[in-house]
Amino acid sequence: MAFTYTTEGVILRRIAYRESDRKIVLLSPDHGKLDLTARGASKIVSKLAPHLEPYTYVRVTVASGNMETITHCQVKKRFSTFTTSLMKKAWVDYTAEVVDQLLRTRQVDPSVFRLVFDTWNVIDELPSVKKTALVGYVVVAGFVLKLLGCLGYRPELTLCARCGKRMDPSGNTFDSVNGALICRRCKKHFPQSQLVGVSVSTIKLLRFLLQEGYPQILRLKLNARQLAELHSVVQKYLGQQLNFPLRSVEFWRWLNTQPSFQQSIR
Ligand SMILES: [Zn+2]
């Protein structure tokens, strides 16, 4: 039986559908990830279309039957800098794609919605200066770790997962399959392909990103080596949880070639 409900959420994705319709992937705090249809939304005269831009926070009314159809939409917030900064757009593309891939349709998790909303606010408010490249990189890494934590993949970052002892001063690794630290003595028991080298300072950084909020994360000062290790651990661990490669991962390669990024990490 058809019924109508109203909810709020952020638009993760917009896809062309049939001749003149659009599919909207909405992340809502109370209904989870929703696959909605917007009838006629690709027509120039559509009343819905201007309100259904990706990466906006909206309030929608949905007619639920065989198909969930948006009947009304109101924009609550536009993240204005996402359309003016290519770099911010790339970070947001990446966060949206990761969430879309890790969450099932109708999987309800208000903490994931809150994390996405907070992260987009932080990215939106970052100043457009040279230093932003570095800060944004760390914010996105923090986002991925926090998201994995919300979804039950929080990595173990205190003791060696095999022997239970404290980490060594050097030679430690991160087991990307099991999301755990492996000490220098135990790493011979694991396939090299699933291990990533990790220094003590990067272990502390990973813990910090998981535990602290964005105000503290934004104050971090990192060197190039820590960034490179952070990149390796986060990408390799995230890759284990995904069913297929991220389209937006090209962003990381692109970012690394940007002169502003290279300068900011020196
Ligand atoms: Zn060990």
The residue-averaged pLDDT of 244-264 equals 68
Parallel/antiparallel/unpaired status of strands 3-17 and 32-38: unpaired
Question: Confidence class of residue 266 from pLDDT cuts 50, 70 and 90?
Answer: very low
Tokens 């109101």 -> residue? 74
Token code pair at residue 103: 């969450």
Instruction: Give residue 178 CA to ligand 1 midpoint distance, Å.
Output: 14
**Residue 2, pLDDT score:** 73
β-bridge mates for residue 180, sequence order = 156, 175
The residue-averaged pLDDT of 8-18 equals 92
Token code pair at residue 107: 């999987």
Burial 94-107 (b: 16+ CB within 10 A, else e): bbbbbbeebbeeee
Q: Which domains does the chain have, with CATH numbers?
A: 3-78 (2.40.50.140), 80-264 (1.20.1440.120)
Instruction: Give residue 159 CA to ligand 1 midpoint distance, Å.
Output: 8
Question: Are the C-beta atoms of 79 and 55 separated by less than 8 Å?
Answer: yes
DSSP string for 150-176:
HTT-PPB-SB-TTT-PBPPSS--EEET
Instruction: Give residue 164 CA to ligand 1 midpoint distance, Å.
Output: 6
Instruction: Give residue 209 CA to ligand 1 midpoint distance, Å.
Output: 24
pTM summary value: 0.90
